C-alpha cells in the first residue's frame, strides 16, 4: 500500500523566478518531520537529510529514509503520532491532512511549512525553493533548482524534435475488467503531459474514474500506461491480460501491443520528475514505433 500513497499544508511556494513571497526560515531546526515523498526527496537532495527524525508512509526515497520512524499516511495523520517524535519543524505537502490534525499541530506550537502540491514543472522548481528557504539553505536550493531546470530543458528539446505525440490511457487499476483511469488534475496526467504525450481522458473529467468500455474504446489510445508492479492486487491485477480486455483489444494500443509501465514515484512530482518524464517520453515513443527525438 505504501508504494501507492504518492499523491502539504500552508505557505505559498517561494521561487527565485516568482514574485517576491516571504517564507519563514528555520535554519536551527534539527528534528524535522517530513511529510510527502517529494518533500523528503528535496530535503535529502539539499544535503539536509540528517535533520529529519521521522517521515510519512509516502516517503520512500532515498533508501535510507526507510530506516526512520513512519508517522503514517500523509492524508491520515494523527497529531499524537507526529508529536511523539519531538519535532521542532514540520515540512509537509499542502495536501496532507486531515485538516483537524493540522490544526492540532499548529496549536502545539510546532512550526509548520507547507509545500504547494502541483503536477507541473513550475511546481517542482517552486517546491525546491520553498524547502530551501524553510531549512535556511536558499543558496543550495538555488543551485539544485538550476540543475533540475537543466533536466527539464533537455526534456523540452527531446519533445520538440519528436514525432506526433502518442495518445495515452493511464490505468490506475483493473477491477475485474472495470478500468479506473486518469483524467486531468492527476499525477498521471501531469507526467504524461510533461513527457510530451496526450492523456486521452484529460478533456473528459478530473481525477480518477471507472470508465465504461464504450468510453474507453472511443478514446482510441495508442499506448496503455500503468504503474510498475507494487504488490497490491487492486492495482496489479490481471496486468498480463490488460490489452486483451474488450475495452482495449480493438484500440490501436491493443492491436499493437503498446503497453508501458512507469514508476509510482513519477506521479509524485519531486526532484526526479524531469528524469522520470524523459524516461517515459522515450518509452512511449518506442512503444508506438516512432522517433522519440533522442540521439
The ranges assigned to domains in the chain are 2-140, 167-287
pLDDT band at 105 (very low <50, low <70, confident <90, very high): very high
144 pLDDT above the threshold of 60:
yes
Lookup result for grid cell 472495470: 178
Paired residues of 182 in beta bridges = 208
pLDDT band at 241 (very low <50, low <70, confident <90, very high): confident
For the segment 72-97, the average pLDDT, to the nearest whole number, is 96
Dihedrals phi, psi of 54, to nearest 5 degrees: -160, 160
pLDDT band at 293 (very low <50, low <70, confident <90, very high): low
Calculate ∠ Cα 32-34-39, nearest 5°.
130
Task: Give the count of beta carbons closer than 10 Å to the beta carbon of residue 215.
Answer: 15
State the helix-helix crossing angle for 121-134 and 37-45, rounded to 10 degrees.
60
For the segment 33-41, the average pLDDT, to the nearest whole number, is 98
Q: How far apart are CA 98 and CA 219, in angstroms?
A: 36
Q: Which of 44-48, 167-171, 173-177 has the lowest mean pLDDT?
A: 173-177
| Superfamily of structural domain 2-140 | Nitrogenase molybdenum iron protein domain (3.40.50.1980)
Kindly report, residue by residue over 108-124, the tens digit of the pLDDT. 999 999 999 999 999 99
Predicted pLDDT at 21 = 35
Predicted pLDDT at 290 = 72
pLDDT band at 4 (very low <50, low <70, confident <90, very high): very low
284 pLDDT above the threshold of 80:
yes
Decide: helix, strand or coil at residue 226. Answer: strand
Q: How far apart are CA 160 and CA 38, in angstroms?
A: 27
Give buried/exposed letters for 49-72 (b at 16+ CB in 10 A, else e). bebbbbbbbbbbbeeebeebeebb
Decide: helix, strand or coil at residue 261. Answer: strand
Decide: helix, strand or coil at residue 88. Answer: coil
Q: Tell me yes or no: is domain 167-287 CATH 3.40.50.1980.
A: yes
163 pLDDT above the threshold of 90:
no
Predicted pLDDT at 200 = 98
pLDDT band at 240 (very low <50, low <70, confident <90, very high): low
Question: How far apart, in Å, are the Cα atoms of 127 and each of 71, 165, 224, 264, 278?
Answer: 22, 28, 30, 19, 20
Lookup result for grid cell 511529510: 35
For the segment 15-21, the average pLDDT, to the nearest whole number, is 33
pLDDT band at 176 (very low <50, low <70, confident <90, very high): confident
295 pLDDT above the threshold of 70:
no
2 pLDDT above the threshold of 50:
no
Predicted pLDDT at 291 = 62
Predicted pLDDT at 20 = 29
Q: How far apart are CA 192 and CA 19, in angstroms?
A: 28
CB 66 within 8 A of CB 79: no
Q: How far apart are CA 266 and CA 272, in angstroms?
A: 8
Taking alpha carbons only, the member of 95, 61, 58, 103 closest to residue 78 is 103
Predicted pLDDT at 231 = 64
Reported as half-sphere exposure (CB side, CA atoms, 13 A), residue 174 has a value of 23
**pLDDT cut 90: percent of the chain above it:** 82
Amino acid at each position: 500500500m505504501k508504494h501507492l500513497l504518492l499523491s502539504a499544508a500552508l505557505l505559498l511556494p517561494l521561487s527565485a523566478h516568482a514574485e517576491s513571497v516571504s517564507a519563514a526560515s528555520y535554519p536551527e531546526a534539527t528534528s524535522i518531520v517530513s511529510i510527502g515523498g517529494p518533500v523528503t526527496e528535496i530535503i535529502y537532495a539539499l544535503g539536509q537529510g540528517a535533520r529529519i527524525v521521522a517521515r510519512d508512509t509516502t516517503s520512500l526515497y532515498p533508501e535510507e529514509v526507510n530506516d526512520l520512524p513512519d508517522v503514517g499516511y500523509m492524508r491520515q495523520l494523527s497529531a499524537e503520532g507526529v508529536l511523539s517524535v519531538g519535532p521542532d519543524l514540520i515540512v509537509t505537502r499542502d495536501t496532507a491532512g486531515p485538516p483537524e490534525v493540522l490544526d492540532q499541530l499548529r496549536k502545539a506550537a510546532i512550526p509548520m511549512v507547507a509545500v504547494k502540491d502541483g503536477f507541473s514543472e513550475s511546481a517542482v522548481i517552486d517546491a525546491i525553493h520553498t524547502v530551501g528557504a524553510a531549512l535556511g539553505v536558499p543558496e543550495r536550493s538555488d543551485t539544485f533548482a538550476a540543475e533540475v531546470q537543466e533536466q527539464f530543458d533537455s526534456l523540452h528539446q527531446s519533445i520538440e524534435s519528436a514525432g506526433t505525440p502518442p495518445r495515452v490511457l493511464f490505468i490506475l487499476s483493473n477491477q475485474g475488467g472495470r478500468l479506473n483511469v486518469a483524467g486531468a488534475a492527476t499525477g498521471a496526467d501531469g507526467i504524461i503531459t510533461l513527457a510530451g504525450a496526450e492523456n486521452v481522458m484529460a478533456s473528459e473529467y478530473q481525477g480518477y474514474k471507472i470508465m465504461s468500455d464504450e468510453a474507453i474504446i472511443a478514446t482510441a489510445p495508442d499506448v496503455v500506461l500503468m504503474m510498475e508492479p507494487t504488490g497490491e492486487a487492486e492495482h496489479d491485477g490481471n496486468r498480463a491480460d490488460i490489452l486483451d480486455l474488450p475495452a482495449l483489444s480493438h484500440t490501436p494500443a491493443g492491436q499493437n501491443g503498446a503497453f508501458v509501465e512507469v514508476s509510482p514515484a513519477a506521479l509524485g512530482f519531486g526532484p526526479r520528475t524531469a528524469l522520470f518524464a524523459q524516461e517515459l517520453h522515450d518509452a512511449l515513443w518506442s512503444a508506438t514505433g516512432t522517433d522519440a527525438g533522442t540521439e
